[in-house]
């Protein structure tokens, strides 16, 4: 299939150009200088022809600490799907995140700032954070929790969540991040799969003015987890809870009186750091496996190089620890020696501009923001961004799903105020990142600059041939990347079938992508979301971008449903904008926008007006759920759904508007 640049944008429409001073001060430029390379193109070429050199150079530049040095950065003797990294080396991720900063005399630098929904605040320096980690690690050891055992973290965004991740890592345990909104069944499924021996949780959290209890949900799940020995409960609400005497212990009681000087456990470089589960449409969730050296190094490439994170920065990315960005942002900020800011709750409560107030009050310099969150904040208008001093922001980063150009431009204009770039990042739970807009190149709205070194990222057709400008193909990796999952947890064949056997010799990520004549890349959505009508294919993001460009809806989901004549037809679920009347007039205007942009074959069969769309906890739109409701099929795995009440509302809209 072919694709033009996003609607309303010319091919030469670069909106941000890095100054020479900006480029010279970038981390990419510093890395090139340390390697004696003249430019980024030279780095790309050498990384592709000599990957062992590249990863070794990157590990050295990032300052990754090893106890026993590795003898080889990359060993491909078992084939591309099964690389071995940092062969012979031993380490512990916390040596690079905590110990080295203390040794460098930076213990007094602020490591973590937290703000609750009620505006409660806490701050920890690097020295204080290291002490908290040591005390918890000592307490967990006293419970008999040891290296190699799996422990779940089912917590809201509070400081104890950061401490728990680091303490378990320091012990050499396998961390199991869990979404804070999971129900008992989803928790039990994941903890049973990993045979978890313990869970660290909280009594509850605040969300949109309500006290959301978490410990009772875990208690229900625990009834079906035979390996579970211990539950550690961090107080957030100071709620009166039932505690099982031989299993449960309050965090404060566990750490009281413990020696904070707890040494890091020496583990092989490829020791499993965590298993992060990613949901699918059917079957059990996939357990992606991340290691101490792999997760640390890839996160450093993505954030320190691609996103230019520096020790002086303050990073805020409102997320959940159960999404990969949760542990990623902890690792990124601490590896860089920067300050991580975390916030409980949502971006637009208790005030509609809360996210912008957080930027102002905590002097955020690097903001993480996804397209769906951007559209949520856009509903409140630029009047909210104008209320706050956002001058501390020097750049923003994004991942999760494709941007539409209007939302991207709104953030660039009203949040960054055109002072710095909004950089795309395409990756996934399975690998951490494939392509990223880096700070060395001009940027078009919603675009990427292209592949980053060490991935061999490309856009190919079904036979694995690179596609030309304007052609849409599969996003793949041709090279081994250090961040890629080490198989799937206890499921070797599923790993090969999912990623490596679709196009032999390539990692197929499952995203449609294209590049234009200027070399800019665009992501068009999941390839399993493809809409094919009358022999023509497109991604839902292209249809949704046309709908959003009308400025008459605030969000949209485009899906294909069976059609007796064309095989498939498009149905669009949309959220009308403020002051827009849902009805035939608006539906006609929206349908005209789609057919005008993509041709009459893609004219929607129906425009469905809704109040909200089904979303994951990381705010991705679950298009497959919309489609399942429309065609009355099973909904599949809903464990990641953050707003289950929307399903009944969606069904009601189908009954009243389509029958």
CATH code of residue 47: 3.40.50.12780
Checking DSSP bridges between strand 174-177 and strand 150-154, what pairing results, if any?
A: parallel
Do 473 and 341 share a structural domain?
Answer: yes
User: Which of 214, 241, 264 represents a domain boundary (last residue)?
Assistant: 264
State the first-to-last Cα distance of the chain, in angstroms, to the nearest integer: 33
- Mean residue pLDDT of the chain comes to 91
CA–CA distance, 629 with 623 (Å, rounded to integer): 10
CA–CA distance, 552 with 637 (Å, rounded to integer): 32
Q: 521: which strand partners?
A: 448, 515
- Let me know if residue 130 belongs to a domain: yes
- Let me know if residue 336 belongs to a domain: yes
Q: Quick one: pLDDT band at residue 528, thresholds 50, 70, 90? A: low
Q: What percent of the chain has pLDDT over 90?
A: 73
CA–CA distance, 573 with 609 (Å, rounded to integer): 6
* Residue with token string 């912008």: 356
Do 597 and 451 share a structural domain?
Answer: no
565 or 508: which leads in pLDDT: 508
**Residue 119 CB neighbour total at 10 angstroms:** 10
What CATH number does residue 173 fall under? 3.40.50.980
- Let me know if residue 329 belongs to a domain: yes
Highest mean pLDDT pick, 246-250, 426-430, 508-512: 246-250
**Which helix or strand (DSSP H or E) is residue 578 part of?**
none
Please report the pLDDT score of residue 151 as a whole number.
98
Task: Collapse the DSSP code of 345 into the 3-class scheme (helix H, G, I; strand E, B; otherwise coil) and give the result.
Answer: coil
- Let me know if residue 364 belongs to a domain: yes
Q: What percent of the chain has pLDDT over 70?
A: 95
- Let me know if residue 1 belongs to a domain: no
Please report the pLDDT score of residue 166 as a whole number.
98
Give 144: exposed, middle or buried? Use CB within 10 Å, 0-12, 13-18, 19+.
Answer: exposed
Do 389 and 507 share a structural domain?
Answer: yes
Q: 526: which strand partners?
A: 511
What CATH number does residue 651 fall under? 3.30.300.30
Please report the pLDDT score of residue 6 as a whole number.
43
Do 548 and 436 share a structural domain?
Answer: no
Mean pLDDT in residue range 2-9: 42
Please report the pLDDT score of residue 641 as a whole number.
83
User: Which of 525, 554, 583 represents a domain boundary (last residue)?
Assistant: 525
Q: Which of 61, 16, 40, 57 is nearest to 450 (CA)?
A: 40
Please report the pLDDT score of residue 279 as a whole number.
66
CB distance 476 to 507 below 8 Å: yes
User: Which of 505, 525, 545 represents a domain boundary (last residue)?
Assistant: 525
CA–CA distance, 337 with 312 (Å, rounded to integer): 8
Do 605 and 483 share a structural domain?
Answer: no
Please report the pLDDT score of residue 9 as a whole number.
42
Q: Quick one: pLDDT band at residue 537, thresholds 50, 70, 90? A: low
pLDDT above 60 for 254: yes
181 or 193: which leads in pLDDT: 193
CB distance 214 to 180 below 8 Å: yes
Task: Collapse the DSSP code of 545 into the 3-class scheme (helix H, G, I; strand E, B; otherwise coil) and give the result.
Answer: helix
Do 508 and 394 share a structural domain?
Answer: yes
- Let me know if residue 98 belongs to a domain: no
Do 172 and 43 share a structural domain?
Answer: no
Do 338 and 360 share a structural domain?
Answer: yes
Do 407 and 292 share a structural domain?
Answer: yes
pLDDT above 60 for 132: yes
Do 257 and 312 share a structural domain?
Answer: no
Do 316 and 180 share a structural domain?
Answer: no
- What are the tens digits of pLDDT across the range 583-641? 999 999 999 999 888 878 789 989 999 999 998 866 778 888 898 898 888 887 787 78
Is it true that the peptide bond before 350 is cis, omega within 30 degrees of 0?
Answer: yes
SS (H, E, C) 241-300: CCCCCCCEEEHHHHHCCCCCCCCCCCEECCCEEEEEEECCCCCCCEEEEEEHHHHHHHHH
State how many domains the chain has.
Answer: 3
Q: Radius of gyration of the chain from Cα atoms?
A: 24
Q: Quick one: pLDDT band at residue 284, thresholds 50, 70, 90? A: confident
- Let me know if residue 100 belongs to a domain: no
620-655: burial string, b at 16+ Cβ within 10 Å, e else: bbbbbbbbbbbeeeebebbbbbbeeebbeebeebbe
Q: Quick one: pLDDT band at residue 659, thresholds 50, 70, 90? A: low
Range in 83-92, 145-154, 398-407 with the lowest mean pLDDT: 398-407
- What are the tens digits of pLDDT across the range 349-407? 999 999 999 999 999 999 999 888 998 899 999 999 999 999 999 999 997 677 888 89
Mean pLDDT in residue range 317-326: 92
Strands (E), 491-634: 507-515, 521-526, 531-533, 536-538, 553-563, 567-576, 606-609
Please report the pLDDT score of residue 510 as a whole number.
85
- Let me know if residue 13 belongs to a domain: no
Please list the helix, strand and coil fractions of the chain in percent, rounded to the nearest 5, in that order: 35, 25, 40
Task: Collapse the DSSP code of 453 into the 3-class scheme (helix H, G, I; strand E, B; otherwise coil) and give the result.
Answer: coil
Do 610 and 638 share a structural domain?
Answer: yes
CA–CA distance, 417 with 639 (Å, rounded to integer): 38
Q: Quick one: pLDDT band at residue 535, thresholds 50, 70, 90? A: low
Which residues have C-beta within 8 Å of that of residue 481, sequence separation ≥ 6?
298, 431, 434, 454, 455, 507
Please report the pLDDT score of residue 205 as a whole number.
96
Domain that holds residue 435: 20-92+272-525
Please report the pLDDT score of residue 131 as a whole number.
98
**Residue 26 CB neighbour total at 10 angstroms:** 18
């Amino acid at each position: 299939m072919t694709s033009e640049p996003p609607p309303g944008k010319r091919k030469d429409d670069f909106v941000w150009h890095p100054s020479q001073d900006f480029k010279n001060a970038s981390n990419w430029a510093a890395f090139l200088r340390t390697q004696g390379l003249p430019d980024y193109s030279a780095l790309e070429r050498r990384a592709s022809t000599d990957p062992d050199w590249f990863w070794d150079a990157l590990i050295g530049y990032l300052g990754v600490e090893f106890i026993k040095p590795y003898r080889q950065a990359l060993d491909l003797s078992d084939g591309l799907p099964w690389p071995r990294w940092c062969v012979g080396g031993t380490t512990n991720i916390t040596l690079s995140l905590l110990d080295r900063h203390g040794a460098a005399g930076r213990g007094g630098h602020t490591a973590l700032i937290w703000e609750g929904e009620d505006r409660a605040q806490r701050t920890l320096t690097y020295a204080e954070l290291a002490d908290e980690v040591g005390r918890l690690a000592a307490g967990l050891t006293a419970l008999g929790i040891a290296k190699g055992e799996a422990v779940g973290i089912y917590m809201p965004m509070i400081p104890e969540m950061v401490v728990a991740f680091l303490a378990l890592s320091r012990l050499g345990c396998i961390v199991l991040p869990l979404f804070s909104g999971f129900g008992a069944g989803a928790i039990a499924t994941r903890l049973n799969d990993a045979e978890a021996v313990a869970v660290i949780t909280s009594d509850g959290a605040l969300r949109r003015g309500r006290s959301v209890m978490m410990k009772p949900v875990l208690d229900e799940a625990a009834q079906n987890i035979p390996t579970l020995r211990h539950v550690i409960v961090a107080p957030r609400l100071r709620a009166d809870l039932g505690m099982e005497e031989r299993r449960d212990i309050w965090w404060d009681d566990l750490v009281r009186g413990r020696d904070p000087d707890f040494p890091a456990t020496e583990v092989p470089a490829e020791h499993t750091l965590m298993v992060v589960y990613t949901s699918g449409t059917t079957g059990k969730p996939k357990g992606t496996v991340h290691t101490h050296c792999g997760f640390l190094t890839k996160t450093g490439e993505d954030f320190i190089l691609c996103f230019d994170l520096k020790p002086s920065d303050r990073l805020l990315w409102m997320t959940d620890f159960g999404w990969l960005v949760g542990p990623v942002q902890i690792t990124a900020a601490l590896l860089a020696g920067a300050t991580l800011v975390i916030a409980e709750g949502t971006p637009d409560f208790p005030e509609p501009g809360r996210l912008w107030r957080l930027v102002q009050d905590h002097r955020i310099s690097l903001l993480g923001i996804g397209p769906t969150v951007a559209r949520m904040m856009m509903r409140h208008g630029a009047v909210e961004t104008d209320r706050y001093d956002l001058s501390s922001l020097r750049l923003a980063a994004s991942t999760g799903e494709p941007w539409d150009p209007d939302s991207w431009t709104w953030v660039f204009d009203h949040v960054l105020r055109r002072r710095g770039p909004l950089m795309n990042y395409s990756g996934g739970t399975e690998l951490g990142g494939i392509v990223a807009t880096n700070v060395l190149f001009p940027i078009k709205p919603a675009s990427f600059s292209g592949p980053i070194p060490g991935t061999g990222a490309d856009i190919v057709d079904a036979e694995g041939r690179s596609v030309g400008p304007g052609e849409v193909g599969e996003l793949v990796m041709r090279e081994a990347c250090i961040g890629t999952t080490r198989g799937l947890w206890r499921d070797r064949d599923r790993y090969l079938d999912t990623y490596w056997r679709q196009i032999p010799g390539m990692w197929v990520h499952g995203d449609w992508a294209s590049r234009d004549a200027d070399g800019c890349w665009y992501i068009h959505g999941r390839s399993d979301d493809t809409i094919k009508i009358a022999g023509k294919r497109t991604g839902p993001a292209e249809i949704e971008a046309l709908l959003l460009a009308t400025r008459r809806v605030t969000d949209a989901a485009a899906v294909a449903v069976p059609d007796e004549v064309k095989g498939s037809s498009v149905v669009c679920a949309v959220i009308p904008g403020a002051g827009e009347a849902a009805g035939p007039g608006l539906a006609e205007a929206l349908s005209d926008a789609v057919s005008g942009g993509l041709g009459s074959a893609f004219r929607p069969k129906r425009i469905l007006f809704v109040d909200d769309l089904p979303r994951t906890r990381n705010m991705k739109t679950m298009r497959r759920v919309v489609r399942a409701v429309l065609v009355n099929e099973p909904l599949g795995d809903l464990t990641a759904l953050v707003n289950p009440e929307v399903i009944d509302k969606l069904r009601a809209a189908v009954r009243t508007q389509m029958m």
